[in-house]
Amino acid sequence: MPETAPQPGLRREIGLWTSVSIVIGTIIGSGIFLVPKTMIFWTGSPAVVLAVWVAGGLLSLFGALTYAELSAAMPEAGGEYVYLREAYGPFWAFVYGWTQMWVAKSGSIATLATGFFYYLANFYPALERKIGIIPIPLGDGGGPLEVRAGQLLAIAVIVLLGGVNYFGIKVGGGVQVAVTVVKVALIAAIIAIGLGSGRGDVTHFGGSVPAVGGIAGFFGALVAALWAYDGWNNVSMVSSEIRNPERNLPRALIIGTLVVIAIYLLTNLAYFYVLPAADVARSDRVAAEMMRRILGEGGAAAVSIAAMISIFAALNGSLLSGARVPYAMAADGLFLRAIARVHPVHHTPSVSILALSAWSAVLVLSGRFDQLFTYVIFASWILYGMATASVIVLRRKRPEMPRPYRTTGYPAVPVLFVFAAACILVSTLRNSPRESLLGLAIIGAGIPFYFYWKRTAGR
């Protein structure tokens, strides 16, 4: 009998700095430009907002330190999917992959694309125009969905970047590095102009506005901050395509997360130095408002361009990394078989990229920015907590596993992360029960499919 031709596989073609750019580029998206208003609504105080940014940054760093051990020990496509599979078995891995495909990663991509069109609407207000109505009760207050012109543009951006990543990890990685460098430079310029303008007042940091306040306010703001920090884990999803992963993955996770924490704190210091709390509370685009105060309308326009570049990089990184999760699930026989196909020339999970892009485009029509990021945060943090706890489970379950990097501060770091994740989930369920329960319903809807695919995979 003739030998079967070997199937194409993913290749290790990206190095340390591309990996770092995936971390930075996928974390810094629209959140830093959009969520300060939400955070001041919850806390009422610039000082507490800054404390929330620190808390969110530390949580993200604790997660990155934990994932550094897991990713170096198991450098396979799928990131958390692999960690959950090895620690708890295929069911929880499937739940994670299902959630990423239908809610978390696709919702994040849709949210970023929505943010992109919000900023482009500064130049083309017609993008905000309603062009149609979809007669299904998923709009505000259970009414029909209203479609705006900008949503069609957002879909086009998703399709464009899906095409870029279809043609190879080198192509997608190269775009990621270039756009991340540009956006970090632009955000650094915004920080320098804000803090160096002499147009601010340090007394702003002691100001306040009416707000929810208290513990509920702190955790409400923390959910918004964690949306802005979301993405620190994405590089682990492309572990099977990183050169020397035992060394480069821990470095990328830790360096990238620390850089983002510094950028976020400096950016918010600039915002509140120039703008009093009441003005931040009224501004949907706080960075643009800050630059308008200093440089006029030209400054606001420059921020909109910086925000669009930032979002573009985050979208690219999210598509690049996110498509590896349904691919890994399908490769284990727990999803549609076609999703596991690797392109014979480009060596990408091409069908998975197309599928994730298509579903994310559908979600662009499904709700507002704040609704989408609440779906993403609640569903994601259930599984982030479990994935982080897997470092403890696997230390006991598989002590013989080679661990090129061991979590700094173990076991306190993962335990604190898991505890914080539980607090965030309780707070989110109380503050946004409808969105949270919808996220849980989507997770639960996958369970029958798990048993079906598990049965067919065993044949």
Query: Pick the residue with more confidence: 228 or 24?
Result: 24
Query: Pick the residue with more confidence: 393 or 224?
Result: 393
Domains of the chain: 16-457 (1.20.1740.10)
Kindly report, residue by residue over 358-401, the tens digit of the pLDDT. 999 888 887 654 565 566 667 777 888 999 999 999 999 999 99
Tokens of 350: 């091409």
Decide if 13 contacts 170 (C-beta within 8 A).
yes
DSSP string, 259-313: HHHHHHHHHHHHHHHHS-HHHHHH-SSHHHHHHHHHHTHHHHHHHHHHHHHHHHH
pLDDT at 4: 41
Q: Which is nearest to 54 in space by CA: 203, 197, 237, 262?
A: 262
The single-letter DSSP state of residue 438 is H
pLDDT above 80: residue 458: no
Q: Which is nearest to 366 in space by CA: 98, 99, 107, 31?
A: 107
Kindly report, residue by residue over 257-302, the tens digit of the pLDDT. 999 999 999 999 999 999 999 999 988 789 989 999 999 989 989 9
Decide if 10 contacts 75 (C-beta within 8 A).
no
pLDDT at 410: 93
Kindly report, residue by residue over 44-67, the tens digit of the pLDDT. 999 999 999 999 999 999 999 999
pLDDT at 358: 94
The single-letter DSSP state of residue 148 is E
Phi and psi angles of residue 130, each rounded to the nearest 5 degrees, phi first: -75, 130
Residue 146, SS3? strand
DSSP string, 17-52: HHHHHHHHHHHSSSHHHHTHHHHHHHH--HHHHHHH
The single-letter DSSP state of residue 14 is B
pLDDT at 368: 53
Count other Cβ atoms within 10 Å, centred on residue 419. 11
Calpha distance 296→289 (Å, rounded): 9
Calpha distance 234→231 (Å, rounded): 5
pLDDT mean across residues, the chain: 88
> What Å distances lie between residue 156 and 147, 151, 346, CA to CA?
14, 9, 22
pLDDT at 87: 96
pLDDT at 2: 41
Kindly report, residue by residue over 106-158, the tens digit of the pLDDT. 888 888 888 888 888 878 888 888 887 877 655 666 667 778 888 899 999 99
pLDDT at 232: 86
pLDDT at 363: 85
Mean pLDDT of 310-333: 93
Amino acid at 105: K
Residue 78 — left, alpha, or beta (φ > 0 → left; ψ -120 to 50 → alpha)? left
Q: Which residue(s) pair with 77 in the sheet?
A: 238
Please report the beta strands in 106-254, taking only residues with DSSP state E, as ranges in sequence order: 130-134, 145-148
Decide if 53 contacts 264 (C-beta within 8 A).
yes
Q: Which is nearest to 53 in space by CA: 64, 39, 65, 73?
A: 39
Any idea which of 37-41, 347-351, 433-437 has the lowest mean pLDDT? 433-437
